[in-house]
Amino acid sequence: MAQIFAYIVHRAGVPDDSAAELAAAARKIDAAASPTAIVTGCGPELDGVCSALRASYAEVWKFANDALTHPNAELIRKALVKILPPASILLLTHDHLGIDLSPGLSIKLNAAYLSDVLGIEGIEGAHLRVIRQEFGGQVSSHVRCDISSGAVITIRPGAFKPLESALLNGTVIEKSSEAGALTAGRRYLQMIAAEAGDVDITKHNVLVSIGRGIQERENVAVAEELADALGGAVSCSRPVVDAKWLEKSRQVGSSGKTVKPKLYLACGISGAFQHLAGIKGSPFIIAINKNPKAPIFQVADVGIVDDILEFLPQLTSKVREMQGVRPK
Amino acid sequence: MEILVCARRVPDTSENEIALNSAGNDIERDELVFSINEADNYAVEEALQIVAKVGGKVTVVTVGGEDDEEVLRREMAMGANQGVLLSDEAFTGSDGRGIATILKAFVQKGNYDLILTGIQAEDGAAQVGGMLAAMLDYPFASLVNSIEILDGRKLKIGREIEGGNKEMNEIDLPCVLSIQTGINEPRYVGMRGVRAVATVPIPTYGAPELDLNAATVGAAAAKVRRVDYFVPQVGNGAEMLKGSREENIEKLVELMAAKGGVK
């Protein structure tokens, strides 16, 4: 059985939550696996990360280099190519660094690449069988992958539940000297924080959230009117921001805001995982969508198959009518 | 600037409900509406805007069959100078690495300063751009949502990272960038525009023209293979309201009132 590694992302000296999820995924590949964590970065922060990981990984490989003050996929790739044994299986998180790093790394390692994996069924001879999603989560697929020359696998955040395990008190192994000088054709400049926007959707208890089903900029008003009636705000999924119908600050999802409303109306939203990742605190979710197979119905509390452009105005009228007979 | 955009024709999820076929092992392919992959269309628009600023030429390339010429013509109607189809029996069943191998062979026949792909297609793998860059030993950036041309064969690019934050980088040309949706506002393509390019010849290259060893691509070389499609049962699913619209609205208002949504 190939050795399994987990590349761990960290921020401000703390490993990302996905560290434990990658360990869980490793044990789905091989129940007896003792995966090795790999961390890259520099300074005392990196030592803090290594110490924290010793609890859940028997071995932690530390790669420190001043060029890695900010994660740079090309540099990390060069380091990993040097330090990974042949035919290794490497797990990473399917986030903005995983997406940047993993495809090219698989080429340099001559390993198979499996992207955004959310289930692992196990090994069949030289093959690994996994579960992915396609078409924005509308269908899933079984994928078979030849891992005889190794594999690079990105794991969907949140898809694998961390396992309860005994404290391991693992060993930190210094790997910093194994890669030599690192240079890249891409250099980090700075981080630009997201703009605040006119409405802070993270502060609202009621969100009327719209997706592609709103169809046109002019129709956004239909959602605004309902949000007004409900005393809430309008938020949206990615396609609405891409089309420039609403500001980026209204977007709910992994590349937008994380919201914690009490009531969430998903209107014409298909329910891709990137969107769902932005909804926290278990709100009551009402989904209205023309497509009865929209993935949003799997996670909603209540669902209605209807055209939001006709449904929402009538719903708004009804809410107004109720408020009229029941004074505030 | 010579720009190559790698594009793909995919089932349009805004036009289709993707469902399983009756055998339950593939998606229902009858009556699917196809269009250019959305992120690829943003990539073409970005290429056109760069060329409008600094001059140059935009080539759109796709790996596929005759049917895929449709998306090349659409992007030519948008303003791309040339469409190229890479097509060969030997390409059938290629995985991401296979597609990247085919594209690499084509890139090496030309002299491109910048190669763009969409961040991901319908399979959500987000892999071909990064693989192609590694094969060419070009720098790469994913999730790109802004591009600025700098002096000295360099670009300043923004990457969309968590929470809507933006990571700014400098990157040397030639490079490969995978473009995030929303980077620009792709121009509208009317039927007239499509008709205007309807008869423009589209060069087609197979493995021999690309000097490509057919054994390195296609199903036989693929390490990754989709076995089937399925629809998992996740949780209990929503309680579906199946009354008339009026009944559903009535029930919904009650529910929202109970949840503190209607005051």
Residue B261 to residue B230: CA distance in whole angstroms: 36
Query: Domain for residue B227, yes or no?
Result: no
Chain A: closest CA distance from residue B21 (Å): 11
**What are the chain A neighbours of B24 within 8 Å (beta carbons)?**
none
Tell me which residue of B11, B12, B38, B19 sits closest to A294, measured CA to CA: B19
pLDDT at B234 over 70: no
**Residue B236 in domain:** no
Beta bridge partners of A62: A39, A174
Q: For position A108, what pLDDT does the model report?
A: 98
Helix (H) or strand (E) holding A114: strand A112-117
Which CATH number describes the domain made up of A4-178?
A: 3.40.50.620
Task: Give the DSSP H/E element, type plus range, for residue B39.
Answer: helix B38-54
Instruction: Answer for the pair B178, B141: CB distance below 8 angstroms, yes or no.
Output: yes
Count H helices, E strands: chain A?
A: 9, 18
* pLDDT at res. A163: 86
Mean of pLDDT values over A141-155: 97
Beta strands in B161-248 (DSSP E): 166-172, 175-179, 204-205, 224-230, 239-240
Q: For residue B85, is it within any domain?
A: yes
**CA separation for the pair B93, A5 (Å, rounded):** 29
Residues paired with residue A235 on neighbouring β-strands, in sequence order? A209
Give CA–CA dist B120/B105, Å, rounded.
21
- Residue ranges, CATH 3.40.50.620, chain A: 4-178
| Window 28-87 of B, Cβ < 8 Å to A | 42
Number of domains in chain B: 1
**What would the mean pLDDT of B120-126 be, rounded to a whole number?**
93
B263 closest CB neighbour out of A116, A189, A231: A231
Q: What is the pLDDT of residue A326?
A: 59
Answer yes or no: do A188 and B169 touch at CB < 8 A: yes
Q: Across the strands, what pairs with B239?
A: A302
- Rounded to the nearest 10 degrees, the angle between the axes of helix A308-325 and helix A220-230 is 20
Which residues in chain A have Cβ-Cβ distances shorter than 8 Å to B136? none
Q: Which residues pair with A141 in a beta bridge?
A: A132, B229
The shortest CB-CB distance from A302 to any of B14, B161, B239 is to B239
Residue B78 falls within a domain, yes or no?
yes
Average pLDDT, chain B: 94
Find, in chain A, the residue whose alpha carbon is nearest to that of B223.
A146
Q: Is the pLDDT at A328 greater than 50, yes or no? A: no
* CATH number of the domain to which B168 belongs: 3.40.50.620
Within 178-217 of B, beta carbons closer than 8 Å to A belong to: 181-182, 185
Q: How far is A179 from chain B (nearest CA, A)?
A: 18
CB A186 within 8 Å of CB A75: no
pLDDT in tens, B61-88: 999 999 999 999 999 999 999 999 999 9
Pick the closest to residue B7 from B146, B148, B120 (CA basis).
B120
pLDDT tens digit sequence for A283-307: 999 999 999 888 999 999 999 999 9
CA-based nearest distance B38→chain A, Å: 10
Q: Is B156 on the interface with A (CB under 8 A)?
A: yes
Tell me the average pLDDT across B178-196: 94
The whole-number average pLDDT for the span B85-111 is: 97
pLDDT of residue A62 exceeding 90, the answer is yes
Please indicate whether, in this complex, the C-beta atoms of A232 and B261 are within 8 angstroms of each other: yes
The minimal CB distance from B135 to the residues A107, A131, A254 is found for A107
Q: How far is B24 from chain A (nearest CA, A)?
A: 11
Residue A325 pLDDT grade (very low, low, confident, very high; cuts 50, 70, 90):
low
Residue B68's domain spans which residues? 2-221
% of chain B surpassing 70 pLDDT = 99
pLDDT, mean over chain A? 94
- Helix and strand element counts for chain B (H, E): 7, 13
Question: What are the backbone angles phi and psi of residue B117, rounded to the nearest 5°?
Answer: -135, 165
Span A201-325: which CATH code?
3.40.50.1220
